[in-house]
């Protein structure tokens, strides 16, 4: 084994959180090495036109996603089931390479509602402790919306987020979300233009008495220079956001928004094609000494460091903790241990609308995160006591782009191939659009992450095992939200429409894409018996290890997680700079 010179901090993964922490720590004067399992990528040449706008390469061959042949997860529905490997991209899409999932995301950039940050307390206060099912393990975040607000604001400014504020310094603003937490400032850029489906959403939502507003989108509506002096160009609505890198410096990504300012730093070194195998611990098992990884030539290398920051995709942060022996693995039978606890996901459904030929929806035009939504069915706007489930959600109009390889919507009853299918495609492609229905996903005692007893990855480590299924709470929520979307859509008088609400007893289907919003497994909290990380995303058990990502969510709310992930990354970076570096050690008493 080769041993490299010691550095102040080693970062595992170079997506959003890795890039944020690397920039913040090098600015503080620390020497930082970033290890990325995939290759190095940049807008030029990797996302250059025309090669990046290739549906076959991006949506079938999965150019920007991890290799499941080397590293994957196994999945089962219940404790008595045998898990099987996730062999083809389906339910979620972990990225690889510099930029990670931050290079192939759509751009939807929400903040949490204040009540999302204190979910359990809020539900108990509104409906009583008995309203929460006995096996539901939801928790409050150990940090409030007000504490996070400056860091959420910073991430929006770095991303050049386009939107319209609803509440600034306590004052409600016309055209924004009146239910959101108070902001310190307006979005960096105004909203993107709407497509037809979003304009019709405004009409239908207002007729329902709802309060539609533009989806906050990290797809720039104007030219923009961010706080790191990175230049971004206006989105040209090419329709290649989801699954693709941005050719136009318009979709926020680590590649466009942070790395141009980070790469020149003499304090920073990026090592691509570096597969981290484990975090190395000293003989006490209470301090990390660095990490061991395989380099581009397959040689085993030890990188000593004073701090280790796990910034990989959420599932693989948990995996690294488990294979490294950081913390106590969670046991659902005894309800003890913390690492693997509170895995959750996202409750996603869709309503598809078809119109006659005088309605020109043109779905090949697309801006990944842009569109229209509303919060009238989210947070404290929803009477969960009357409806009988925990958690809120959104209905939204979004058009990230469509094409023949990614799939074309056709009315129900259409054959899957042949003359009638072709006719249905020709008749409907330009005259249909969809509304997505996205709900929260609670955490449960029996839903968790662990090491698989049977399957190993290409490096000889046990695969991460996911135990997860749809709970009656989420099925009931799915049915309610889809019914609300269908009722709203009737206002538009479509020729036909259909919804895909979950059926009673339906199981989680790993083969069907739903979202890449995997959350939990190494959650933050104020109690080391029920959380793996403290309020600063620092390991309770190994204080010089910080674990940054959606793995820290005790449960998932109705929004996309990226905005909160970025805010937590800046929150943790500030704590490291202002607290930890002055006195290395636990930042919160256990």
Angstrom distance (rounded) from CA 580 to CA 66? 33
3-state DSSP assignment of residue 100: coil
For residues 517, 521, 527, 528, the Cα torsion angle rounded to the nearest 10 degrees is -150
Strands 73-76 and 371-374: unpaired
- Which residue in 109, 211, 471, 517 is the catalytic one? 517
DSSP 432: E
Contact in structure between 507 and 536 (CB atoms under 8 Å): no
Q: Which candidate, 307, 322, 344, 328, places its Cα nearest to that of 537?
A: 307
Angle of CA points 83, 84, 86, to nearest 5°:
125
Place of tokens 């204040």: 114
Q: Tokens in use for 363? A: 């779905």
Q: In this structure, is the dihedral angle defined by the CA atoms of residues 352, 509, 215 and 118, taken in order, positive or negative?
A: positive
First to last CA, the chain: 36
Contact in structure between 31 and 9 (CB atoms under 8 Å): yes
Q: In this structure, is the dihedral angle defined by the CA atoms of residues 217, 514, 249 and 361, taken in order, positive or negative?
A: negative
Annotate 150-201 with DSSP letters as a single string.
HHHHHHHHHHT-B---SEETTEE-TTS-TTSPPBSS--SBPPPPP-HHHHHH
Cβ-based neighbours of 64, under 8 Å, separated by 6 or more: 58, 95, 96, 97, 103, 104, 243, 244, 245
Angstrom distance (rounded) from CA 87 to CA 44? 31
φ, ψ for residue 535, nearest 5 deg: -65, -15
CB-based burial of residue 418 (10 Å sphere; 0-12 exposed, 13-18 middle, 19+ buried)? Answer: exposed
Provide the CA 255 distance to its chain's centre, in angstroms.
Answer: 17
Provide the CA 178 distance to its chain's centre, in angstroms.
Answer: 24
Q: Which candidate, 294, 313, 157, places its Cα nearest to that of 225?
A: 157
**Annotation says 319 is catalytic:** no
Cis peptide before 54 (omega within 30 of 0): no
DSSP 391: -
Q: Tokens in use for 581? A: 């570096």
Angstrom distance (rounded) from CA 427 to CA 429? 6
Angstrom distance (rounded) from CA 548 to CA 538? 9
Contact in structure between 211 and 374 (CB atoms under 8 Å): yes
DSSP 118: G
- Directed axis angle between helix 562-575 and helix 16-27, to 10°? 20
Q: Tokens in use for 243? A: 């699954």
Q: Tokens in use for 459? A: 């490096």
Q: Active-site residue numbers?
A: 517
């Amino acid at each position: 084994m080769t041993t490299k010179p010691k550095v102040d901090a080693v970062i595992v993964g170079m997506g959003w959180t890795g890039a944020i922490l690397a920039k913040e720590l090098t600015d503080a004067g620390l020497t930082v090495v970033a290890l990325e399992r995939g290759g190095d990528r940049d807008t030029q040449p990797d996302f250059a036109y025309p090669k990046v706008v290739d549906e076959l390469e991006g949506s079938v061959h999965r150019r920007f996603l991890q290799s499941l042949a080397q590293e994957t997860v196994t999945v089962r529905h219940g404790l008595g089931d045998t898990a099987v490997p996730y062999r083809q991209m389906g339910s979620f899409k972990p990225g690889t390479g510099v930029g990670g999932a931050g290079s192939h995301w759509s751009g939807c950039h929400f903040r949490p509602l204040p009540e999302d940050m204190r979910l359990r307390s809020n539900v108990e206060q509104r409906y009583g402790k008995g309203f929460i099912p006995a096996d539901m393990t939801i928790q409050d975040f150990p940090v409030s919306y007000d504490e996070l607000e400056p860091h959420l604001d910073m991430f929006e400014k770095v991303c050049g987020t386009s939107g319209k504020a609803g509440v600034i310094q306590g004052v409600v603003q016309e055209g924004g979300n009146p239910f959101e937490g108070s902001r310190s400032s307006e979005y960096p850029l105004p909203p993107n233009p709407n497509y037809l489906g979003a304009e019709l959403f405004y009409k239908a939502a207002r007729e329902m008495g709802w309060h539609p507003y533009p989806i906050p989108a990290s797809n720039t509506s104007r030219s923009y220079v961010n706080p790191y002096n990175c230049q971004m160009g206006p989105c040209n609505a090419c329709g290649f956001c989801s699954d693709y890198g941005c050719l136009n410096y318009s979709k926020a990504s680590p590649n466009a928004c942070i790395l141009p300012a980070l790469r020149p730093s003499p304090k920073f070194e990026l090592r691509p094609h570096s597969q981290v195998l484990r975090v190395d611990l000293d003989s006490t098992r209470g301090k990390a000494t660095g990490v061991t990884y395989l380099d581009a030539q397959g040689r085993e290398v030890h990188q000593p460091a004073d701090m280790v920051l796990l910034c990989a995709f959420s599932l693989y942060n948990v995996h690294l903790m488990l294979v490294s022996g950081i913390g106590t693995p969670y046991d659902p039978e005894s309800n003890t241990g913390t690492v693997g606890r509170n895995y959750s996901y996202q409750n996603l459904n869709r309503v598809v609308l078809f119109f006659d030929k005088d309605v020109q929806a043109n779905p090949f035009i697309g801006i990944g995160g842009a569109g229209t939504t509303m919060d009238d069915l989210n947070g404290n706007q929803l009477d969960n006591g009357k409806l009988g489930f925990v958690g809120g959600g959104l209905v939204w109009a979004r058009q990230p782009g469509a094409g023949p390889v990614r799939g074309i919507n056709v009315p129900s009853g259409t054959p899957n191939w042949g003359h009638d299918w072709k006719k249905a495609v020709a008749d409907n492609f330009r005259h249909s659009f969809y509304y997505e229905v996205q709900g929260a996903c609670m955490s449960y005692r029996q839903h968790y992450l662990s090491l698989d007893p049977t399957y190993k990855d290409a490096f000889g480590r046990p695969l991460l095992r996911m135990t997860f299924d749809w709970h009656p709470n989420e099925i009931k929520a799915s049915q309610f939200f889809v019914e609300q979307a269908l009722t709203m859509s009737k206002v538009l008088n479509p020729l036909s429409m259909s919804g895909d609400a979950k059926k009673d007893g339906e199981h989680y289907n790993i083969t069907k894409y739903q979202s890449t919003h995997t959350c939990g497994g190494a959650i933050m909290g104020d109690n080391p018996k029920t959380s793996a990380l403290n309020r600063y995303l620092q390991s309770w058990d190994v204080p010089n290890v910080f674990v940054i990502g959606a793995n820290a969510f005790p449960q998932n709310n109705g929004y996309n997680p990226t905005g909160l992930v970025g805010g937590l990354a800046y929150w943790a970076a500030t704590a490291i700079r202002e607290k930890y570096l002055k006195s290395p050690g636990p930042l919160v008493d256990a």
